[in-house]
Structure 1
Amino acid sequence: MIVTVLGVDPRSRSKTKLQAPAPLPHVSRRALARVRDRIEPPKACHCCGGPVKLTNNSEIYNGHSFGDWPFVYRCTQCQAYVGLHPDTDLPLGIMADRATVAARKEAKADFQRLTAARFGYDRSAAYAWLAQALGIAKSICHFAMFAEAQARRAGEVCRLELGSRRV
Structure 2
Amino acid sequence: MTIQVLGIDPRSRSKNKLQAPAPLPHVSRRALARVRDRIEPPKSCHCCGGPVRLSDNSVIYNGRSYGDWPFVYRCTQCQAYIGLHPDTDLPLGLMADRATTNARKHSKAPFQRLLVSRFGGDRSRAYAWLAEVLGISRSICHFGMFTKEQAERAGEICRLELGGLV
Unpaired segments of 5 or more residues in structure 1?
A: none
Q: Map of 1:14-25 to 2, 5 A cutoff?
A: 14-25=14-25
Unpaired segments of 5 or more residues in structure 2?
A: none
2:119 matched residue in structure 1:
119
Say which is worse superposed, 121-130 or 63-72, in terms of deviation: 121-130
How far, CA to CA, are the matches of 1:92 and 1:73 in structure 2? 10
Q: Map of 1:61-72 to 2, 5 A cutoff?
A: 61-72=61-72
How far, CA to CA, are the matches of 2:121 and 2:89 in structure 1? 30
How far, CA to CA, are the matches of 2:2 and 2:58 in structure 1? 29
Q: TM-score, normalised by structure 2?
A: 0.96
What's the offset of the Cα at 1:46?
0.5
What's the offset of the Cα at 1:55?
0.3
Report the 3-state secondary structure (helix = DSSP H, G, I; strand = E; otherwise coil) of the residue aligned with 2:44: coil
How far, CA to CA, are the matches of 1:86 and 1:120 in structure 2? 26
What's the offset of the Cα at 1:148?
0.5
Q: Map of 1:23-102 to 2, 5 A cutoff?
A: 23-102=23-102
2:107 matched residue in structure 1:
107
2:129 matched residue in structure 1:
129
Report the 3-state secondary structure (helix = DSSP H, G, I; strand = E; otherwise coil) of the residue aligned with 2:118: helix
What's the offset of the Cα at 1:123?
1.5
Kindly indicate whether residue 160 of structure 2 is the aligned counterpart of residue 142 of structure 1.
Answer: no
How far, CA to CA, are the matches of 1:10 and 1:131 in structure 2? 27
What's the offset of the Cα at 1:147?
0.8
Q: TM-score, normalised by structure 1?
A: 0.96
How far, CA to CA, are the matches of 1:89 and 1:115 in structure 2? 28
Cα deviations by residue, 1:90-114 (Å, 9 ceiling, x for unpaired):
0000001110010001110011111
What's the offset of the Cα at 1:117?
1.9
What's the offset of the Cα at 1:120?
1.8
Report the 3-state secondary structure (helix = DSSP H, G, I; strand = E; otherwise coil) of the residue aligned with 1:119: coil
The number of equivalent residue pairs is 166
How far, CA to CA, are the matches of 2:56 and 2:162 in structure 1? 38
2:161 matched residue in structure 1:
161
- Report sequence identity in percent: 78
What's the offset of the Cα at 1:35?
0.6
How far, CA to CA, are the matches of 1:105 and 1:117 in structure 2? 19
What's the offset of the Cα at 1:162?
1.4
